[in-house]
Amino acid sequence: MDNMNNAGVYVNPGKNEIVQSDNNDKYSCRAVRTKIITRDDSLAEIIAEYAKPHLENGDILFLSEKMVACAQGRAIPVSEIKPRFTAGLLSGFVTKSSAGIGLAMPETMQCAIDECGLIRILFASAVSIAGKLLGQKGWFYHVAGYRAACIDGPCEFTIPPYNNCVVLAPLDPGRTAVNISKMLDGVTVIIVDVNDYGARIIGNSEKIDKNHIKSLLRQNPLGQDDESTPMGIIRKGE
């Protein structure tokens, strides 16, 4: 019996339950509903309660980087962030997108500077300008690294209280994935930054084909608003 038919595992509206990889293999991809996760929660306990009952051997459990970061206490109310002049200046050159505000506000840019260092952010900005002159995008985050790329600014579509917070990248995502996998008796665990423009894998419990996994997540199956589904399960052959 498919234990993912139990309550608590969903296919979010507008998403497909059956997804196809680039090599044409078919997988089921379903999201796991949880409570609102805060710094007072244990990530391991949340996963044990909401995801573990639905897992089988061979599954891949994918966790939103935002879920992991919130459990680590990495969500900061915007009102507590005091951006400096440099953050305000640099944020004005960032292009806003429908995927989120990113670093296009002084508060998120200040967090990027605090996380990555001013010199690295300035260098990334210079490289980004050069890239744009050559018609290339994405050079800023390639230089600044995942800690800058994963910063999420406040968004009206995010479930409260995180609609008024800046959420930083999770700490040590690789080790976190390994530890969760051990708790789950070896189930593959990945930590992802996924949106409507694609997926980035920032932590994995074992060696995986990242491009293959990203092709399965291209539809952005998770939901962080009323869906409250910050993690999901991929299973082959359904």
**Six token digits for residue 124:** 């990334």
Strand partners, 167: 75, 152
The CATH superfamily holding the domain 3-72+170-236 is CofE-like (3.30.1330.100)
For residue 98, count other CB atoms closer than 10 A to its CB.
7
> Which pLDDT belongs to residue 92?
86
What are the residue ranges spanned by the domains of the chain? 3-72+170-236, 80-167
> Which pLDDT belongs to residue 1?
35
> Which pLDDT belongs to residue 96?
67
**Six token digits for residue 96:** 């806003």
Question: Is residue 108 within 8 Å of 102, Cβ to Cβ?
Answer: yes
Alpha helices, DSSP H only, in the chain? 43-50, 65-71, 85-91, 106-116, 118-133, 139-144, 146-149, 173-183, 210-216
Q: What is the pTM of this model?
A: 0.89
Angle at Cα 68 formed by Cα 65 and Cα 72, nearest 5°? 135
Mean pLDDT per 10-residue segment, the chain (238 residues): 60 91 87 94 96 95 96 96 96 73 92 96 92 86 91 86 94 97 96 85 95 92 81 88
